[in-house]
């Protein structure tokens, strides 16, 4: 006899699923495990406009994905420093997959029209995605360090302390370059022992080392894999930045951002920033 699909709310035992748990008086529920009481009541808008819920949820979901990106990046850096590259590859691949989710989120936000956004934009005051501390920590983890951004977070001493600590830790590219040196490829000592809180500048010895890896893939297979994982991460981040810029242009044109930035003009400038410059330069060299 063909089984009929279980309707929502219908007794599962009546469908032959007698083993399902339905009494949770003494046991933890799905909602309790995920703290859904907190998660699903954290969308308090400041206006009565229908579309503010969309705006809030998109940004909250992106922050959750960024939390996972940071979790994976930290683990990948640790594993590279331990010369344990295989787990790092898995973690960096996961980062790239997460990034595709955040990129696609812009397509949802782009359904917000300029007229709709103007109905509640003023309620944001000076709050802006520019102030996302997790995004800054992702930049720090990838090796992009600009000290002036720390000033944004002086209001919260605990958060500032967390960001300052992350600011002074080696980034993903620092870990990768040091791995090149440990593999016997000649890297300038000033790069290996550099102050990781300063912005990274392209270096000829690093370019030569990565070029060697790409010209002798069989000998340096793991380093070649590492390089391509880094390129995947940066490629996805640049796609995220591009979709961010185009979505902002679509919704507010060339108005200033709520955080005081030049808006689209600023977002276009950051598209020219590179995290792993030699990995892009060598594509012309080889």
Give the CA angle between residues 8, 14, 15 to the nearest 5°: 70
132 alpha-carbon distance from chain centroid = 11
- Model pLDDT, residue 1: 45
State the pLDDT confidence band at 124, using cuts at 50, 70 and 90. Answer: confident
pLDDT winner (highest mean) among 29-33, 184-188, 243-247: 184-188
Percent of the chain residues past pLDDT 90, beyond the cut: 73
- Where is pLDDT greater, at 234 or 267? 234
Domain boundaries, the chain: 49-284
Q: pTM of the entire structure?
A: 0.87
**pLDDT, tens digit, 9 for 90 and up, residues 157-207:** 999 999 999 999 999 999 999 999 999 999 999 999 999 999 999 999 999
The residue among 126, 117, 137 whose CA lies nearest residue 56 is 117
Binding residues for heme: 244
State the pLDDT confidence band at 6, using cuts at 50, 70 and 90. Answer: very low
Please give the average per-residue pLDDT across 98-123, as a whole number: 93
Mean pLDDT, all residues of the chain = 90
Binding residues: 55-59, 117, 121, 244, 258
Binding residues for substrate: 55-59, 117, 121, 258
- Model pLDDT, residue 266: 78
Question: Which CATH number is correct for 49-284, 1.20.58.480, 2.60.40.420, 2.40.50.100, 3.30.950.10?
Answer: 1.20.58.480
**pLDDT, tens digit, 9 for 90 and up, residues 59-96:** 999 999 999 999 999 999 999 999 999 999 999 999 99
Q: Is the predicted pLDDT of residue 135 greater than 90, yes or no?
A: yes
SS (H, E, C) the chain: CCCCCCCCCCCHHHHCCCCCCCCCCCCCCHHHHCCHHHHCCCCCCCCCCCCHHHHHHHHHHHHHHHHHHHHHHHHHHHHHHCCCHHHHHHHHHHHHHHHHHHHHHHHHHCCCCHHHHHCCHHHHCCCCHHHCHHHHHHHHHHCCCCHHHHHHHCCCHHHHHHHHHHHCCCCHHHHHHHHHHHCCCCCCHHHHCCCCCCCCCCCHHHHHHHHHHHHCCCCCHHHHHHHHHHHHHHHHHHHHHHHHHHHHHHHHCCCCCCCCCCCHHHHHHHCCCCCCHHHHHHHHHC
State the pLDDT confidence band at 10, using cuts at 50, 70 and 90. Answer: low
- Model pLDDT, residue 83: 98
State the pLDDT confidence band at 129, using cuts at 50, 70 and 90. Answer: confident
Task: Tell me the C-alpha distance between 274 and 284, whole Å.
Answer: 16
Please give the average per-residue pLDDT across 25-46, as a whole number: 92
Least confident of 10-19, 146-155, 202-211, 239-248: 10-19
| Burial class of residue 183, CB neighbours in 10 A (0-12, 13-18, 19+) | middle
Q: Is the predicted pLDDT of residue 133 greater than 80, yes or no?
A: yes
Please give the average per-residue pLDDT across 214-241, as a whole number: 97
Contacts 24+ apart (CB under 8 A), 246-254: 246/106, 247/106, 247/109, 247/110, 250/110, 250/114, 251/109, 251/110, 251/112, 251/113, 251/114, 251/117, 252/114, 252/117, 252/121, 253/114
């Amino acid at each position: 006899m063909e089984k009929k699909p279980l309707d929502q709310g219908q007794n599962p035992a009546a469908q032959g699923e007698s083993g399902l748990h339905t009494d949770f008086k003494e046991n933890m529920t799905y909602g309790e495990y995920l703290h859904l009481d907190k998660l699903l009541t954290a969308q308090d808008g400041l206006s009565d406009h229908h579309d503010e819920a969309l705006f809030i949820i998109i940004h909250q979901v992106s922050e959750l994905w960024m939390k996972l990106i940071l979790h994976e990046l930290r683990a990948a850096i640790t594993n590279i420093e331990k010369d344990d590259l295989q787990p790092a590859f898995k973690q960096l691949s996961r980062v790239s997959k997460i990034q595709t989710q955040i990129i696609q989120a812009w397509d949802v936000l782009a359904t917000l029209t300029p007229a709709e956004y103007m109905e509640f934009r003023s309620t944001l005051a000076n709050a802006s995605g520019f102030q996302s501390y997790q995004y800054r920590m992702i930049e720090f983890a990838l090796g992009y360090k600009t000290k002036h951004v720390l000033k944004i977070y002086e209001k919260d001493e605990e958060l500032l302390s967390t960001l300052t600590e992350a600011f002074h830790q080696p980034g993903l590219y620092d870990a990768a370059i040091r791995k090149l040196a440990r593999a016997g490829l000649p890297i300038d000592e000033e790069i290996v022992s550099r102050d990781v809180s300063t912005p990274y500048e392209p270096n000829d010895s690093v370019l030569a080392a990565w070029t060697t890896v790409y010209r002798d893939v069989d000998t340096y297979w793991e380093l070649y894999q590492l390089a391509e994982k880094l390129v995947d991460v940066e490629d996805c981040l640049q796609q995220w930045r591009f979709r961010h810029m185009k979505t902002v242009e679509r919704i507010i044109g060339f108005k200033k951002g709520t955080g005081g930035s030049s808006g689209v003009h600023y977002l276009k400038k950051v598209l020219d920033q590179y995290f792993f410059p030699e990995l892009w330069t060598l594509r012309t060299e080889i």
